[in-house]
């Protein structure tokens, strides 16, 4: 492809208009929508903060031996509320790059809140501030739950709009054809990502002008990328590395984009590596991208063990009535034991006996070959049947809402399982694992996990493996909390449970 002329520069506008896309930043630029969305977030955050500190102030006013007057209590609540909002802003919870991202956005809200109240606790201890404990006990948990809940609601609202291609960030992709294809597939194939590739610029001579890559038009070459980005209303330019995209090209592109307010992104060819493992370090004029190796021991795992035991103990007490009622229902409606015990493979390849409520007739394992002859709805090495005749009527209800898995809380308490982790595999599955699949065994299997919230039995086998390996290498305590929160939605939805 020759150097783009003025007539070629007119083609981006025509190509995109042909697809019904308006050529203004108001169409898909950050400027119009992200400011309105940020105002909505700020408004709900302020309402939650005011409500939580007001509740704490009211509780404090009813306590005995309160010496502070109403004006002092109101001033204290107002200052705390203002500091809370400032902490949220300082921790970049209103950064457009995090809108709709989920874990990162929630983590920043959580991080800003606990840091502020930790500082409040220290200052209150030093100056012996009256009522500080009430604010810590009441305002922090109530406000944090409220902030996360409203952010979750707004995130769902944003994702619904993004499925209709609204409120997205327009991207101009720069790189070779295969790199552009990968970027288009990842961004345009997942509307919830918030990014949409609207055009591609490639090195001269690699693709002819007017061609398309996965339905996205090729608009020009590297020399005119800056002008094209401004003309088509792109919000950012995503550059993939190649021999033609040198450091000098990227530097000049950044200079061209700066005056028109278009962001520059460099795509790293890293698959399934979470953000906390990546660090950028400048050294001698070169930015070094560090990828921390996964760690499977240390204080973080000790914290996970404590969270598992405490969480499992609390959940066991809460669901005890459900356990009793389910046990009676299983025993009364079919012959056989209440619990089904099966060998599963845990961390390090060690085998343990996993507990579940029995959902099938006695001797179901001996009937696998007979049932499999009529079809298999499973994936990979898994055998699954949607209409499995071995499942009892009560068992179908238990499976539909994952109630049959509640006895695994006792496996968590005994230390064989975790609340969150990869799916506990059968020994027959593990015997067929490749090296990549065995990385699932580096952490304890979980009562729930990414496979549970991602679709359960509806997921292809390769996706199940990818999610489990990704979790094993990238898990964080806060990520576990997010998965537990998403599990409730997946359970009540019942998708993929049979």
E strand or H helix at 143: helix 140-162
- Spell out the domains of the chain, with CATH numbers in brackets: 6-29+164-291 (3.40.50.720), 31-162 (no CATH), 299-493 (no CATH)
pLDDT of residue 208: 66
pLDDT of residue 242: 66
Question: What does residue 283 show for φ and ψ, rounded to 5 degrees?
Answer: -150, 115
At a CB cut-off of 8 Å and minimum separation 6, what does 63 contact?
131, 134
- Do 98 and 105 form a contact (C-beta atoms < 8 A)? yes
- Do 459 and 496 form a contact (C-beta atoms < 8 A)? yes
Per DSSP, 348 falls in state G
In three-state secondary structure terms, 241 is: coil
Question: Of 180, 217, 222, nearest to 205 (Cα)?
Answer: 222
User: Which residues, listed in sequence order, are joined to residue 202 by a DSSP beta bridge?
Assistant: 221
Give Cα separations from 19 to 12, 79, 205, 489 (angstroms). 11, 52, 26, 36
pLDDT (tens place) for every residue of the chain, 498 residues total: 333 333 344 444 444 443 333 333 433 344 567 888 999 999 999 999 999 999 988 888 777 566 666 787 788 889 999 999 999 999 999 988 888 776 788 889 999 999 999 998 888 888 777 777 888 889 999 999 999 999 989 988 888 888 877 788 888 888 888 888 888 888 888 777 788 888 888 887 666 666 888 888 888 887 788 888 888 888 888 888 766 677 777 788 888 887 777 888 887 666 666 666 676 666 666 667 667 667 777 788 888 999 999 999 999 999 999 999 999 999 998 888 999 999 999 998 899 999 999 988 887 677 666 666 665 555 555 656 667 778 888 988 898 888 999 999 999 999 999 999 998 988 888 888 887 788 888 899 999 988 878 666 566 777 788 888 888 888 888 888 888 888 877 666 555 454
Side-chain-side CA neighbours of residue 442 (13 Å): 18
CA distance 18 to 57: 59
How many angstroms from the chain centroid is the CA of residue 245?
A: 31
List for the chain the helix, strand, coil content (%; round to 5).
55, 15, 30
Q: Find tokens 């070779």 and name the residue.
A: 176
Question: What is the secondary structure of 474-492 as a DSSP string?
Answer: H--HHHHHHHHHHHHHHHH
Question: What does residue 167 show for φ and ψ, rounded to 5 degrees?
Answer: 55, 45
pLDDT of residue 3: 38
User: Which residues, listed in sequence order, are joined to residue 195 by a DSSP beta bridge?
Assistant: 169
């Amino acid at each position: 492809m020759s150097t783009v002329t003025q007539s070629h520069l007119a083609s981006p506008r025509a190509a995109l208009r042909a697809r019904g896309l308006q050529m203004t930043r108001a169409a898909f630029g950050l400027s119009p929508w992200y400011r309105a969305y940020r105002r909505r977030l700020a408004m709900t955050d302020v309402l939650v903060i005011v409500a939580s500190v007001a509740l704490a102030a009211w509780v404090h006013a009813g306590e005995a031996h309160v010496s502070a007057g109403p004006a002092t209590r109101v001033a204290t609540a107002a200052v705390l509320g203002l500091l809370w909002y400032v902490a949220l802003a300082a921790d970049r919870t209103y950064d457009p790059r995090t809108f709709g991202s989920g874990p990162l956005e929630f983590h920043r809200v959580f991080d800003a809140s606990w840091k502020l109240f930790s500082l409040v606790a220290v200052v209150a201890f030093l100056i012996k501030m009256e009522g500080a404990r009430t604010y810590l006990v009441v305002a922090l948990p109530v406000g944090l739950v409220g902030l996360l809940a409203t952010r979750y609601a707004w995130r769902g609202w944003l994702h619904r709009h993004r499925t209709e291609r609204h409120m997205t960030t327009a991207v101009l992709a720069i790189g070779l054809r295969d790199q552009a294809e990968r970027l288009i597939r990842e961004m345009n194939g997942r509307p919830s990502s918030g990014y949409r590739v609207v055009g591609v610029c490639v090195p001269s001579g690699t693709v002819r002008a007017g061609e398309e890559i996965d339905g996205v038009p090729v608009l020009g070459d590297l020399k005119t990328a800056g002008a094209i980005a401004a003309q088509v209303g792109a919000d950012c330019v995503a550059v993939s590395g190649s021999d033609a995209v040198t450091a000098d090209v990227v530097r000049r592109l950044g200079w061209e984009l700066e005056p028109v307010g278009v962001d520059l992104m460099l795509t790293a060819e890293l698959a399934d590596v979470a953000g906390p493992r990546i660090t950028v370090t400048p050294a001698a004029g070169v930015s070094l991208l560090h990828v921390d190796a996964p760690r499977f021991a240390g204080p973080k795992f000790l914290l996970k063990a404590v969270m598992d035991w405490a969480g499992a103990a609390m959940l066991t007490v809460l669901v005890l009535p459900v356990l009793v009622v389910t046990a009676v229902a299983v025993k009364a409606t079919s012959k056989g034991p209440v619990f089904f015990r099966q060998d599963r493979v845990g961390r390090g390849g060690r085998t343990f006996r996993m507990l579940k409520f029995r959902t099938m007739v006695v001797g179901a394992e001996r009937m696998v070959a007979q049932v499999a002859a009529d079809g298999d709805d499973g994936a990979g090495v898994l055998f699954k049947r949607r209409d499995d005749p071995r499942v009892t009527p009560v068992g179908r209800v238990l499976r539909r809402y994952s109630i049959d898995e509640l006895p695994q809380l006792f496996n968590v308490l005994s230390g064989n399982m975790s609340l969150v982790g990869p799916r506990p595999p059968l020994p027959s599955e593990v015997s067929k694992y490749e090296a990549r699949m065995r990385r699932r065994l580096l952490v304890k299997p979980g009562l729930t996990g990414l496979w549970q919230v991602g679709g359960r039995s509806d997921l292809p086998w390769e996706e199940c493996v990818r999610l489990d390996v990704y979790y094993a290498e990238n898990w964080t305590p806060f990520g576990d909390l997010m998965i537990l929160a998403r599990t409730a939605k997946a359970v009540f939805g019942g998708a993929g449970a049979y």
